[in-house]
């Protein structure tokens, strides 16, 4: 296999800054590519939270003193526990602010996000074309989500190297801005024969779309599961971009994510109460007790405990949970949730917890320890997403012998094997899927779950089948590696 130099551009990176799975992927995929022998470097904005948390950052490279009117420089750190370089685009006027990567809070966006990520894309392009004073020329620039969408466009100006891959982690977030924001970015009028302010370019119903730039100009476009890659070609899931994605043809494919099997390992997890493995599943009970205690639920070990760890947004099916909770708590089921996001979901869930004390418990916030504890201690993990490009928690759950109950969409359907209805033969099933997005379908799935839970031998089979799945990153990294190689000229 040939080895390549790869620049990985992203807006989040575990453990420095993360709002969801993108941050996890940005840590694990470069690491897996590095293990395969590639030279990988990562670039992301120098947000205040990162500047505050890292005590030593080295200034590197040489950029023009001002770019588009902003003072910009490059800082360098390493990916946690590795020698993989991470470049931080330091532009105090745009990135040194309180809050998260996109806004003050999770449900707020900064008004100048077009300028913020427009500038970020320019700097990624400078690094990608060895014009940042780093004396390094990548073969591939791997861009992720709309925040990096202008990179494939800007790189198109340099006809050959580097090649560009654009990965869509969530098509619903498109980076849409006004025509005046577009004008302020001072992009060329025409790139590679494509007029930018046109529906064949960046224009999307009179707005500028960053994600379209990525899709139109990248050498290859991917998304994070094969199932989602098929779904986004339909009007139901395509968010208005189904036509463009169809036209992208063989340039577009799905590569499923993996999970960090070191960080998520019930046999070696510093966050959980008691370690366990496939042959000591009885010890999982101590983690259930720890969750029950932490969340002030009764300590009934028999009662099915369902957990959830999620951003609280439309995507995640929170409305279904709110509709189902009054019915769920009438059954022999307790429910715990850890999450944060849209204010109205946070409030409605807290209200439900107040209504059903001791049976439903909710923690609003972001907390790594509690996330691990729930994944280890719950009997089942609920993931009722309306749509799910990949999803990581269903894979964590299976690794922990915690049975996922999920809506059969996207990456959820690709990574969970459904149990047959009410059968004593569950074959190699690893979870429960429901196919219609409705409260009744969710409740029916829970009935199937309870049926298996009532039979310890069957339940153990289900848990063990999940634990035997291989969700490591190596397969996905190999698929990306093959894709990169296919983009490079024969002579490489």
Residue whose structure tokens are 């120098």: 46
Alpha carbon separation from 315 to 49, 79, 232, 264, 309 (Å, rounded): 26, 30, 14, 24, 13
Q: Is 30 in the site for ligand GLC (CB under 6 A)?
A: no
Shortest gap between Cβ of 41 and ligand GLC (angstroms)? 20
CB atoms within 10 A of CB 441: 17
> Site mask, ligand GLC, residues 247-286, x = CB under 6 A?
----------x-----------------------------
DSSP state of 257: -
Asked if 71 contacts 116 with a C-beta cutoff of 8 angstroms, the reply is: no
Using the minimum distance from each CB to ligand ADP, give the nearer residue, 136 or 173.
173
Q: Which of residues 376-405 bind ligand ADP (CB under 6 A)?
A: 390-393
Q: Would you count residue 6 as binding ligand GLC (CB under 6 A)?
A: no
Beta-carbon contacts of residue 96 (< 8 Å; ≥ 6 apart): 46, 47, 48, 51
Out of 138, 389, 404, 408, the residue judged to bind ligand GLC by CB under 6 A: 389
Contact flag: residue 338 with ligand ADP (CB under 6 A)? yes
CA pseudo-torsion sign 172, 205, 142, 113: negative
Note whether 24 binds ligand ADP by CB under 6 A.
yes
Whether the link from the prior residue into 15 is cis, omega within 30° of 0, is yes
Closest-approach residue to ligand ADP (CB): 21
Which residue from 468, 465, 432 is spatially nearest to 450, judged by alpha carbons? Answer: 432
In 145-187, where do the E strands start and end? 163-168, 176-177
> Rule CB under 6 A: is residue 144 a binding residue for ligand ADP?
no
CB 109, min distance to ligand GLC, A: 16
Which residue carries 């009997």 as its tokens? 379
Task: Determine if 21 is a binding residue for ligand ADP (CB under 6 A).
Answer: yes
Token readout for 32 is 């897996």
From residue 465, alpha-carbon distances to 228, 401, 462 in Å are 24, 8, 5
Confirm or reject binding of residue 20 to ligand GLC (CB under 6 A): yes
Please report whether residue 388 would count as binding ligand GLC according to CB under 6 A: yes
By a kind-dependent CB cut-off of 5 to 8 A, residue 346 interacts, out of ligand GLC, ligand ADP, none, with none
Contact with ligand ADP (CB under 6 A) among 89, 132, 255, 309: 309
Q: Is 169 in the site for ligand GLC (CB under 6 A)?
A: yes
| Closest distance of CB 370 from ligand ADP, Å | 7
Q: Give 417's DSSP letter.
A: P
Q: State the Cα–Cα distance between residues 358 and 336, nearest whole angstrom.
A: 10
Partner from ligand GLC, ligand ADP, none contacting 224, C-beta within 5 to 8 A by type: ligand GLC
Q: How far is CA 351 from the centre of its chain?
A: 28
Does 138 contact ligand GLC by CB under 6 A?
no
Q: Considering only residues 394-413, where is the footprint of ligand GLC by CB under 6 A?
A: 411
Q: If phi over 0 gives left and psi between -120 and 50 gives alpha, with beta otherwise, what is residue 408?
A: beta
Q: Which of 22, 196, 232, 306 binds ligand GLC (CB under 6 A)?
A: 22
Please choose which of ligand ADP, ligand GLC, none residue 338 contacts, taking the beta carbon within 5 to 8 angstroms, the exact cut-off set by kind.
Answer: ligand ADP
Question: What separation in angstroms does the CA of 383 have from each of 227, 318, 431?
Answer: 16, 9, 11
Q: Is 311 in the site for ligand ADP (CB under 6 A)?
A: yes
Residues that bind ligand ADP (CB under 6 A): 20-22, 24, 309-311, 338-340, 366-368, 371, 390-393
Residues that bind ligand GLC (CB under 6 A): 20-22, 25, 169-170, 224, 257, 388-392, 411
């Amino acid at each position: 296999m040939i080895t390549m130099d790869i620049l990985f551009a992203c807006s989040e990176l575990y453990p420095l800054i993360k709002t969801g799975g993108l941050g996890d992927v940005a840590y694990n995929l470069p690491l897996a590519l590095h293990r395969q022998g590639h030279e990988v470097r990562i670039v992301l904005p120098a947000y205040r939270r990162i500047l505050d948390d890292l005590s030593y950052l080295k200034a590197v490279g040489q950029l023009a003193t001002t770019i588009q009117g902003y003072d910009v420089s490059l800082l360098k750190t390493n990916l946690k526990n590795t020698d993989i370089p991470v470049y931080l685009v330091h532009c105090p006027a745009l990135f040194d602010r309180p809050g998260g990567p996109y806004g003050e809070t999770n449900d707020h966006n900064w008004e100048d996000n077009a300028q913020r990520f427009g500038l970020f894309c320019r700097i990624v392009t400078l690094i990608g074309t060895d014009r940042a004073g780093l004396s390094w020329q990548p073969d591939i620039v791997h861009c992720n989500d709309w925040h990096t969408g202008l990179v494939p466009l800007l790189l198109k100006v340099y006809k050959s190297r580097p090649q560009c891959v654009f990965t869509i982690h969530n098509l619903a977030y498109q980076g849409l801005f006004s025509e005046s924001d577009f004008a302020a970015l001072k992009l060329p009028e025409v790139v590679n024969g494509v007029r930018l302010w046109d529906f064949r370019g960046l224009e999307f119903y009179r707005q500028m779309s960053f994600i379209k730039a990525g899709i139109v100009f990248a050498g290859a476009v991917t998304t994070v599961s094969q199932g989602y890659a098929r779904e986004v070609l339909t009007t139901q899931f395509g968010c208005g971009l189904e036509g463009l994605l169809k036209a992208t043809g063989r340039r577009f494919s799905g590569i499923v994510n993996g999970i960090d099997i070191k960080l998520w390992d019930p046999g070696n997890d510093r966050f959980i109460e008691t370690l366990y493995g496939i042959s000591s599943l009885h010890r999982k009970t101590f983690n259930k007790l720890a969750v029950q205690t932490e969340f002030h639920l009764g300590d009934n070990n028999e009662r099915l405990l369902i957990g959830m760890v999620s951003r609280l947004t439309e995507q995640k099916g929170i409305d279904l949970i709110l509709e189902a909770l009054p019915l769920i708590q009438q059954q022999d089921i307790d429910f715990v949730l850890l999450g944060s996001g849209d204010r109205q979901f946070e409030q409605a869930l807290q209200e439900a917890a107040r209504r059903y004390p001791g049976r439903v418990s909710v923690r609003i916030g972001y907390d790594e320890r509690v996330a691990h504890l729930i994944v280890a201690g719950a009997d089942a993990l609920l993931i009722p997403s309306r749509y799910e490009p990949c999803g990581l928690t269903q894979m964590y759950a299976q690794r922990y012998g915690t049975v996922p109950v999920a809506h059969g969409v996207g990456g959820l359907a690709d990574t969970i094997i459904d149990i047959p209805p009410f059968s004593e033969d569950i074959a190699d099933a690893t979870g429960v899927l429901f196919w219609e997005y409705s409260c009744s379908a969710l409740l029916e799935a829970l009935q199937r779950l309870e049926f298996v839970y009532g039979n310890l031998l069957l339940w153990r089979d289900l848990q063990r089948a999940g634990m035997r799945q291989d969700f490591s990153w190596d397969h996905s990294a190999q698929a990306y590696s093959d894709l990169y190689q296919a983009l490079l000229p024969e002579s490489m």
